[in-house]
Amino acid sequence: MGLSPSYADAVAVMVAAAREVPDFELLVAISEYEQSFMGWDVLSGPVEQRRAAFGGTVETWSPQQRAHWTSEKILDWSGVPVTHVRATIFYENPLLTWFTVDGLRNGELQLPFGVARFSPIAAQDVADACVTILRAPVAHAGRTYLLTGPELKTMNDLARDFGQVLGRDIVYVPQPVQPWIDRRIIPALGERNPHVAEHLSILVRMIEGGTHDAVTDTLANLLDRAPTTAAAALAAAPILRDLGKR
């Protein structure tokens, strides 16, 4: 299920339905990377520890991050066999596709992530990892997997990946965080979908703050193939594919 104000409600309904199925084998829940540092040990610690871990208190999470936290707890308490898949930002995320197009037309990757590093992941890789898990429910039930892309990327690395896809030189041009949010996210989503707008805005601040500077080999261990490269993932995005034809 995508980002939604009703996310936690939908998870509760799914759990209720699963509990009615005899011999239910496994529910795979695609959560998010941020849950890996929003554990109870951090939440119950001193305020300084909480701020160091994720940049603030629970009030500074996005509504979607709060919904994922609640949903993971609902699933864990339900008695339904569950595997949590905590995936980092997708290459298909609007932050890396829709909101980059205007700059890319002028040979610039305009993002507000400063000198941060992160490890985006291809949506197809997450889907294939979930299939692997579902094929062996007993082996994976009760486990939590943190999925990232295969390598850390600087924004200059990402600019080169975009350049490879588009067949032209792309230069990373850092943007100030709040003005970029005000120029890109708020006009596009703020009025018609404030839930998504708030989530993406806070995700921007987290990435810029360095919270996503991590990489794991879990994805490669789950897949029966090499993870998708950045260039391949970006090339599959329709909006970028169309841009590359111009």
- Whether residue 49 is predicted with pLDDT greater than 90 in this model: the reply is no
Provide the CATH number for the domain around residue 78.
3.40.50.720
The answer to whether residue 145 is domain-embedded is yes
| pLDDT tens digits along 7-46 | 999 999 999 999 999 999 999 999 999 888 777 777 777 7
- The whole-angstrom separation of Cα 126 and Cα 223 is 9
Q: Are 173 and 62 in contact (CB under 8 A)?
A: no
Sheet holding 82-87, edge to edge: 27-32, 82-87, 144-147
246 within domain boundaries: no
| Mean pLDDT calculated for residue range 225-230 | 93
**Residue 110 CA: distances (Å) to CA of 1, 24, 130, 149, 189:** 29, 47, 33, 21, 19
How many domains does the chain divide into?
A: 1
Q: Is residue 201 part of a domain?
A: yes
User: Max alpha carbon distance in the chain (Å)?
Assistant: 57
Does residue 216 form part of some domain?
A: yes
**pTM of the full structure:** 0.90
Range of the domain at 230: 7-240
pLDDT in tens, 90-134: 999 999 999 999 999 999 999 999 999 999 999 999 999 999 999
Q: Is 23 contained in some domain?
A: yes
Q: Is residue 227 part of a domain?
A: yes
Asked if residue 112 is part of any domain, the answer here is yes
Residue 189 lies in a domain: yes
